[in-house]
Amino acid sequence: MESALPAAGFLYWVGAGTVAYLALRISCSLFMALRVWGLGHEPGVGPGLGEWAVVTGSTDGIGKSYAEELAKCGMKLVLISRSQDKLNQVSSEIREKYKVETRTIAVDFASEDIYDKIKTSLAGLKIGVLVNNVGMSYEYPEYFLEIPDLDNAIKKLININILSVCKMTRLVLPGMVERSKGTILNISSASGMRPTPLLTIYSATKAFVDFFSRCLHEEYRSKGIFVQSVLPYFVATKMTKIRKPTLQTPSPEMFVKSAMKTVGWKSRTNGYPVHSLMGTIISTLPSWLYFNVIMRSVKSTRARYLRKAKKN
């Protein structure tokens, strides 16, 4: 009995320490959330960084919403996306609504030979903000070897999700360093925070974006450059196939309005209060529990998609 007392005491302090650590972590997260989202402060972007902002994947969803928020801050815009028709429409809407100059570049980020065209189009512009938003996911969760047209999917996911971020940063960063100011916002995903099976390539490419952003921020923050990794959970966009916004799945406009408040404050963010809370909770789960939960979720989504496809 006496020999069991020290062991019981040890386990008590381990448990108490764990609870205290989790309580402290959650308290810090809540304090930061209050500081960022609850208290008003000036936007972390604007023409003072450089009069132009560049947004990739800017004709829909999160990218379009970032373009609009940057226009509200008085920044001129270079909108880059695949469809010239959509670019013309969004460009005209933003120009008329916010009274800012806009330019467009129509390219397909699935290709590798587009960057000379982009470089030429951006030449001479003082770019203060770059939003690397363009991205591609799966049509539905699927096992790696069963992904339709796997070789092409691998190439497109890497080119769009990884190569575009590196190449666009390569084009824009030198001017920011020369002026000792600038902001780069890289749109990753919550699936890049922890591995997401059945979305394996997507999850891995978004993890790259997160790591790339965090490393770049540490390399260049002393030179006046702020680099942010944005890791949203589900947002009601065409890519997620969620049509109706909810508290948990906000509209792109709501998400970006919230995420913009974190610029200059947090170099890594889920961008939205509810998503931030979800990220804090999920990050505390042990791996075995996390993988058990996530596998059930993606398998269920896969099964629903395949049943629907079979009926059609």
Catalytic residues: 202
**Cα-based angle 30, 34, 36 (whole degrees, multiple of 5):** 115
Decide: 194 and 152 in contact? Cβ < 8 Å: no
Separation in Å, CA 302 to CA 144, 234, 295: 13, 16, 10
Strands 102-106 and 127-132: unpaired
Separation in Å, CA 235 to CA 135, 248, 286: 14, 8, 26
Structure tokens at 254: 């709501």
What does the DSSP 8-state code read for residue 249? Answer: S
Decide: 255 and 272 in contact? Cβ < 8 Å: yes
CA nearest neighbour of 89 among 56, 121, 60: 60
Amino acid at 235: V
Structure tokens at 111: 């290709």
Q: What is the 3-state secondary structure (H, E, C) of 41-67?
A: CCCCCCHHHCCEEEEECCCCHHHHHHH
Decide: 114 and 107 in contact? Cβ < 8 Å: yes
**Residues paired with residue 171 on neighbouring β-strands, in sequence order:** none
